[in-house]
Amino acid sequence: MKRADPRTAPQLKLRLPSGLKERIEACAEAAMRPLSSEIIRRLEWSFRAEEQGHIMDDEADASSIEQRLHDAEMQIELLIGMIHSLSKRLTKLDGIKE
């Protein structure tokens, strides 16, 4: 994404929790970037991740987890049924061999 000229780019006054501000400052310092560049980089990353489906809102995430849990429970029930069926067959085979 092409960045606007810093002298003409819109400005935003933003309040951040102190812990978050300290984390962003530390990351910017470690990457040797200005604070505003670090914030822009992280915002752009989050939008790309969201567009690619890597970030979901809490409700969608919970719904997805519930669906996967339900699917897993159904598969477990199916496997239990198959185990019981195989167990009965083995029991019959054991009776035939004797």
pTM here? 0.49
Token pair belonging to 26? 């530390």
Q: What is the structure's pLDDT at 70?
A: 87
- The tens digit of pLDDT for each residue in 56-81 reads 566 667 777 888 898 899 999 999 99
pLDDT at 1 over 60: no
Q: What's the CA gap between 79 and 73, in Å, rounded?
A: 10
Band of residue 2 on the pLDDT scale cut at 50, 70, 90: low
Q: Which residues of 55-94 are buried (b: 16+ CB within 10 A; e: fewer)?
A: eeeeeeeeeeeeeeeeeeeeeeeeeeeeeeeeeeeeeeee
